[in-house]
Amino acid sequence: MIQLKTLLNCIDNSGAAIVECIKVLRMERAARVGDRIIVVVQKQRNFGPESGPGGSVSISAANKVRRGDIRHAVVVRTAKKTQRKDGTVVRFDDNACVLINKNGEPIGSRFNGVVGRELRDKQWSKILSLAPMHV
C-alpha cells in the first residue's frame, strides 16, 4: 500500500537509496506492485570506498539522481499482501521501487533484489529482465 509520504527502498543503481512517494499515478487508491508513482529522492546511495569528504565528486559522477530529485518510479515489492490468480498470497518484508524516466525505461542499469511477478502482467518486461529474480 504505497501512498503519499510512503518511504521506499530504491533497489537500482541510479544512486537513490530511499525515496518518498509524492503521487500515485492513475490511481485513487494505494499503489501496488507494478504501479507507477512519482517519488522524491530522500537519501543517496554511497558507491565504493571513496565515499567520504573527497568522494563527493565520484558520488555525483556515479549517481544519476541527486537528493531532492523528483522522478517517476515503479513499485516492485510491497509489504502489503497481494493475492495471485493461483490463490497464493505473497508479501515482502519491505516496500521497494525502481526509478524510471518519463518513457518508462529504468534509469539504473542493474537491480539488486527480488521483484514481484505482477510486473509481468503490467508489461514491465524491461524491469523483469534486469532483476536478479522474481517471485
Partner 1 sequence: MAAQRRWHTIIPRDQLSNPPEGIPVTWLKPRKKLSKIYVHPPPRSMPKKCPDPVGVVTASQLATLDSSGARARLFDKENTEGVRVGDVLHVRMREGEPVSGVCLNIRRRGVETAILLRNQLTRVGVEVWVKVFSPLVQSVEIVQRRVRRARRARLYYMRQPKHDMGSVEGLVRTYLRQRAVLGSGGKGAAEMLGKKGKGKGKKK
* Contacts with partner 1, residue ranges (CB under 8 A): 77, 81, 86-94, 96, 112-114, 132-133, 135
Task: Convert 35-85 into a string of H (helix), E (strand) and C (coil).
Answer: CEEEEEEEEECCCCCCCCCCCHHHHHHHCCCCCCCEEEEEEEECCCCEECC
Q: 31: which residues sit within 8 A by CB, 6+ positions away?
A: 1, 2, 3, 21, 24, 37, 75
- Nearer to partner 1 among residue 83 and residue 103 (C-beta): 83
Give the type of residue at 27: M
User: Closest distance between partner 1 and the C-beta of residue 77, in Å?
Assistant: 7
Least Å distance, CB 83 to partner 1, is 8
Judged by beta carbon, residue 67 or residue 80, the one nearer partner 1 is 80
Closest to partner 1 by CB, 70 vs 135, is 135
Closest distance between partner 1 and the C-beta of residue 102, in Å?
A: 28
